[in-house]
């Protein structure tokens, strides 16, 4: 008799536990926390902030979502901030030196392309090679080579790489006397270009920042070629690695940046004082299944 009672009690307990488990499976998920819906921490490299695109888009996000975005501009390494639990979402260049390690180490979700910023062929107002307004960067470079106008290599990895592509695509013209590769970079490369009435590659955003501090006789002359665009991505920090991360809010902001209306607006945003477009929407480069449908 006692054995039968114990068996019955066991069956009743097991049935009750199974019923609770089934009910839990069908129970509605808890509502999002107020923190997730109202406070998102975004860390960005300076380019997207100085270029005006993030301040504009974040104001739209806050107005439409009733949210507050805490924006941190990372002047050193944006991924160090993320590893230290200081942000929920990162925005950087796709080729940022720390992006790959951050994702491969399990700290970040897959990068989502959101927009591209702009490199330009800069040159003197006199434009001795006649490249102003040329939409094909290879054609512009070929004109510089033909005119033997000085071209100064901006000794930064990305800019040097683009210069090598242009040189190869232009037919590998003899570099003697005009292709100047002496290790100068950033403002130093600009100064050499001014002195020699020559041309140089650099991003429009850092160029305009430099012009505000020390205006030089250089202008962005060629920038319409997609070869001169550089992809930027957002990466959601994984809460499995950093418990304080607001992944829900990060995904909401990322989804807003990928929305068709937001992508369309990016084309109209200008760097302060620059009339031509410097931002190109890049959401379509993602896997279509993750893109917003509305």
- Domain with residue 198: its CATH number is 3.40.190.10
Residue 272 in this model has a pLDDT that exceeds 80:
no
Q: What is the pLDDT at residue 273?
A: 61
Whether 138 and 221 share a structural domain: yes
Whether 237 and 272 share a structural domain: yes
Domain that holds residue 154: 118-228
Whether 261 and 221 share a structural domain: no
Q: What is the pLDDT at residue 277?
A: 74
- Chosen domain end from 210, 228, 246: 228
Q: What is the C-alpha radius of gyration for the chain, rounded to an integer number of angstroms?
A: 26
In-domain check, residue 16: no
43 touches 13 (CB < 8 A): no
Spatial CB neighbours of 258, under 8 Å, sequence gap ≥ 6: 112, 114, 283, 286, 290, 291, 292
Whether 220 and 161 share a structural domain: yes
- Banded model confidence at residue 266, pLDDT cuts 50, 70, 90: very high
| Sole residue written with tokens 């129970």 | 27
Residues 175-219: tens digit of each pLDDT: 999 999 999 999 999 999 999 999 999 998 889 889 988 999 999
CA distances from 150 to 129, 143, 163 (A): 10, 11, 13
Residue 68 in this model has a pLDDT that exceeds 80:
yes
Residues 22-56: tens digit of each pLDDT: 343 333 333 334 444 579 999 999 999 988 899 99
Q: What is the pLDDT at residue 38?
A: 75
Whether 67 and 208 share a structural domain: no
Residue 252 in this model has a pLDDT that exceeds 60:
yes
Q: Which tokens in the block code for residue 279? A: 């931002």
Q: What is the pLDDT at residue 14?
A: 40
State the average pLDDT over residues 64-89.
93
- Banded model confidence at residue 290, pLDDT cuts 50, 70, 90: confident
In-domain check, residue 18: no
Whether 108 and 234 share a structural domain: yes
Residues 126-178: tens digit of each pLDDT: 999 999 989 999 999 999 999 999 999 999 988 999 999 999 999 999 999 99
- Chosen domain end from 193, 211, 228: 228
Whether 183 and 253 share a structural domain: no
Least confident interval from 11-15, 140-144, 178-182, 228-232: 11-15
Spatial CB neighbours of 121, under 8 Å, sequence gap ≥ 6: 131, 137, 140, 141, 199, 200, 201, 220, 221, 222, 223, 228
Q: What is the pLDDT at residue 80?
A: 94
- Banded model confidence at residue 11, pLDDT cuts 50, 70, 90: very low
Residues 73-83: tens digit of each pLDDT: 987 889 999 99
Looking at the structure of the chain, the number of domains it has is 2
């Amino acid at each position: 008799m006692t054995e039968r009672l114990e068996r019955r009690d066991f069956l009743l307990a097991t049935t009750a536990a199974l019923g609770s488990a089934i009910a839990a499976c069908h129970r509605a998920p808890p509502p999002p926390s107020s923190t997730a819906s109202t406070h998102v921490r975004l860390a960005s490299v300076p380019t997207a902030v100085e270029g005006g695109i993030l301040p504009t888009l974040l104001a739209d996000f806050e107005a439409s979502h009733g949210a507050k975005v805490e924006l941190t501009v990372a002047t050193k390494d944006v991924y160090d901030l993320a590893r230290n639990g200081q942000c929920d979402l990162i925005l950087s260049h796709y080729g940022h030196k720390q992006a790959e390690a951050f994702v491969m180490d399990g700290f970040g979700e897959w990068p989502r392309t959101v927009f591209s910023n702009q490199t330009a062929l800069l040159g003197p107002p006199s434009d001795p090679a006649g490249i102003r307004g040329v939409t094909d960067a290879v054609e512009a470079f070929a004109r510089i080579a033909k005119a033997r106008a000085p071209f100064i290599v901006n000794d930064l990895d990305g800019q040097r790489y683009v210069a090598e592509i242009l040189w190869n695509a232009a037919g590998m013209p003899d570099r003697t006397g005009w292709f100047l590769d002496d290790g100068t970079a950033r403002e130093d490369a600009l100064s050499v270009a001014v002195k020699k009435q020559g041309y140089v590659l650099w991003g429009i955003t850092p160029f305009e920042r430099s012009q505000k501090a020390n205006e030089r006789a250089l202008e962005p002359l060629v920038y319409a070629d997609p070869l001169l665009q550089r992809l930027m991505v957002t990466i959601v920090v994984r809460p499995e690695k950093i418990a304080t991360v607001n992944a829900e809010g990060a995904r909401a902001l990322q989804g807003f940046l990928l929305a068709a209306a937001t992508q369309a607006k990016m084309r109209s945003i200008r760097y302060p004082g620059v009339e031509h477009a410097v931002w190109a929407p890049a959401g379509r480069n993602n896997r279509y299944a993750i893109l917003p449908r509305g």
